[in-house]
């Protein structure tokens, strides 16, 4: 068999010699790589090739093309197993030529060895982001689609198209014109990380689809960070903040003893971070309110503590042109480009009274409630003396000072409940009992008719009413004698 095949080859070789001679002479030995003959001293000698696969000797062949054609055929056969994939062999093939008068070779043996040795990979690409391998794809176009789809999560295709057109023009002036109040406009889209799409040999099972690539970019990887403990944080709180388990934190921080941490401790945490960040820059035109200031003036026409608005305040308006830096949909920074005042704020002016409150009563009394009727008069009642009048059924909760004076008591006193006593500095004294709320305090000057508290039912009381007493030079008076 060997002999036969060798003989057959000889014949082929001889035919080839004739052809090659012509070529060789025409090209003046231009390319010797595919030639199986070498011209020496005017005659051509056969040349053989020692074949190496990944530096391992496979045998000797008479013809280099034989091996090359075989490998190509094998690749084509393998490719038929997959849909539209370009395959390549993983091994490096080397040919070492030798010129010999009596060449020894075994083509069949080499081919047989090759058959067992060769393994196949896809001629694909790898997507690498900032040095991290994200995954393998069939070709550059698909890897680019992954990036495009990822970007489109944050910017629409239309806007990306528009940006391409804008870059050829004077971008900034056109943006300024297009900005409308309250709206944002994308002015730039960039990737924060370096993206590389490199040719690579890929095992067919490792190929990813575009959607898988987008998900992987999003899912990202764990990034190590340092968290400094503050405000008495516990290890549990920190674990929750970063969605980590206590075990994970302890594994990363072997120095933590019995899960105890103190403020200022640095804790290594691991956080998931997308591989890729899309930075979208947007410009925005906003109207911002400017708060008004309050100015005070005084007037002797108003009593102390009384105020009156002389001029209501009005907010101003500012037109703010700013640029936002948005990383994967999250605003990271806002830069104010310009501010223009379109309406000045108007100060609020408040008049404060300085007129001293008269503490001496006028002797002319103000009714202590807002309307109402007398439900109990002064005099003997159920075996005891009722020292004042009871007023109920009032229009509002307010209780008023009957005349100018000074508060001598404001607090709780036994059956009277919450009670106010006013000395009118003219011999008269009035008291207000069973109140729900006290608005004045001891020593305070009050003006006739000034609200001093709310009606109630505190102390010994059977319902909401005001118990009102009046004295003149410490002698009990019937209030009704003065109204």
- Residues at the interface with Zn ion (CB under 5 A): 390, 467
**384: Cβ contacts below 8 Å, ≥ 6 apart:** none
Q: What does the alpha-carbon distance between residue 402 and residue 424 come to, in Å, rounded to a whole number?
A: 9
CB of 406 to Zn ion, least distance (A): 24
User: Which is nearer to Zn ion, 64 or 467 (by Cβ)?
Assistant: 467
CB of 479 to Zn ion, least distance (A): 11
User: Which is nearer to Zn ion, 131 or 414 (by Cβ)?
Assistant: 414
Task: Mark 36-52 as b/e (b = at least 16 C-beta within 10 Å).
Answer: bbbeeeeebebbbbbbb
User: Which is nearer to Zn ion, 17 or 374 (by Cβ)?
Assistant: 374
CB of 358 to Zn ion, least distance (A): 29
What DSSP assignment string belongs to 341-354? EEE--B-EEEEEEE
CB of 377 to Zn ion, least distance (A): 9
CB of 433 to Zn ion, least distance (A): 7
Instruction: Answer whether 278's CB lies under 8 Å from 154's CB.
Output: yes
Helical residues (DSSP H) of 221-290, grouped into ranges? 235-241, 246-252
User: Which is nearer to Zn ion, 284 or 390 (by Cβ)?
Assistant: 390
User: Which is nearer to Zn ion, 284 or 469 (by Cβ)?
Assistant: 469
CB of 373 to Zn ion, least distance (A): 14
Residues in a beta bridge with 369: 399
CB of 386 to Zn ion, least distance (A): 6
**H/E element, 85:** none
CB of 365 to Zn ion, least distance (A): 18
Q: Phi/psi of residue 479, each to 5°? A: -55, -30
User: Which is nearer to Zn ion, 214 or 422 (by Cβ)?
Assistant: 422
User: Which is nearer to Zn ion, 390 or 429 (by Cβ)?
Assistant: 390
User: Which is nearer to Zn ion, 103 or 417 (by Cβ)?
Assistant: 417
**H/E element, 141:** helix 140-152
Q: Phi/psi of residue 2, each to 5°? A: -60, -50
User: Which is nearer to Zn ion, 277 or 467 (by Cβ)?
Assistant: 467
Instruction: Answer whether 122's CB lies under 8 Å from 78's CB.
Output: no
| Nearest Cα residue to 109 out of 140, 74, 82, 70 | 70
Instruction: Answer whether 421's CB lies under 8 Å from 409's CB.
Output: yes
Residues in a beta bridge with 317: 289, 343
**H/E element, 423:** strand 418-423
Residues in a beta bridge with 283: 185, 323
CB of 376 to Zn ion, least distance (A): 6
Give the nearest residue (CB) to Zn ion.
467
């Amino acid at each position: 068999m060997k002999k036969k095949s060798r003989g057959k080859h000889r014949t082929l070789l001889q035919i080839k010699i004739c052809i090659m001679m012509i070529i060789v002479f025409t090209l003046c030995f231009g390319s010797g790589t595919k030639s199986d003959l070498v011209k020496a001293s005017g005659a051509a000698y056969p040349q053989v090739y020692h074949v190496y696969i990944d530096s391992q000797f496979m045998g000797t062949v008479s013809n280099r093309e034989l091996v090359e054609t075989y490998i190509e055929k094998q690749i084509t056969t393998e490719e038929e197993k997959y849909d539209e994939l370009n395959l390549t062999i993983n091994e490096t093939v080397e040919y070492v030529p030798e010129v010999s008068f009596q060449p020894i070779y075994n083509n069949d043996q080499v081919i047989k060895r090759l058959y067992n040795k060769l393994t196949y990979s896809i001629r694909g690409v790898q997507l690498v982001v900032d040095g991290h391998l994200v995954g393998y794809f069939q070709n550059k176009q698909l890897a680019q689609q992954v990036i495009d789809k990822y970007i489109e999560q944050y910017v629409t295709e239309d806007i990306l198209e528009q940006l391409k057109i804008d870059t050829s023009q004077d971008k900034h002036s056109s943006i300024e014109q297009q900005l409308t109040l309250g709206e944002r406009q994308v002015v730039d889209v960039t990737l924060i990380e370096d993206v590389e799409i490199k040719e690579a040999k890929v095992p067919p099972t490792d190929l990813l689809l575009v959607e898988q690539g987008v998900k992987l970019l999003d899912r990202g990887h764990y990034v190590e960070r340092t968290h400094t403990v503050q405000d008495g944080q516990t290890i549990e709180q920190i674990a929750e903040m970063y969605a980590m388990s206590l075990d994970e934190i302890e594994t990363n921080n072997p120095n933590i003893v019995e899960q105890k941490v103190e403020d200022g401790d640095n804790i290594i945490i691991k956080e998931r971070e997308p591989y890729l960040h899309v930075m979208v820059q947007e410009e925005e035109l906003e109207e911002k309110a400017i708060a008004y200031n309050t100015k005070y003036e005084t007037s002797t026409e108003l009593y102390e503590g009384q105020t009156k608005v002389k001029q209501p305040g009005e907010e101003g308006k500012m037109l703010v042109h700013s640029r936002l830096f948005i990383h994967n949909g999250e605003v990271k920074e806002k830069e104010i480009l310009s501010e223009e005042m379109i309406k000045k704020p108007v100060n609020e002016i408040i008049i404060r009274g300085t007129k001293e409150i008269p503490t001496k009563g006028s002797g002319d009394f103000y009714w202590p409630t807002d309307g109402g009727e007398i439900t109990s008069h002064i005099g003997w009642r159920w075996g005891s003396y009722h020292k004042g009048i009871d007023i109920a059924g009032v229009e509002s909760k307010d209780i008023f000072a009957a005349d100018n004076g000074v508060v001598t008591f404001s607090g709780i006193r036994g059956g009277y409940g919450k009670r106010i006593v006013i000395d009118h500095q003219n011999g008269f004294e009035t008291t207000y009992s069973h109140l729900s709320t006290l608005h004045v305090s001891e020593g305070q000057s009050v003006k006739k008719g000034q609200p001093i508290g709310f009606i109630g039912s505190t102390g010994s009381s059977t319902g909401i009413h005001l118990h009102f007493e009046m004295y003149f030079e410490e002698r009990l008076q019937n209030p009704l004698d003065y109204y």
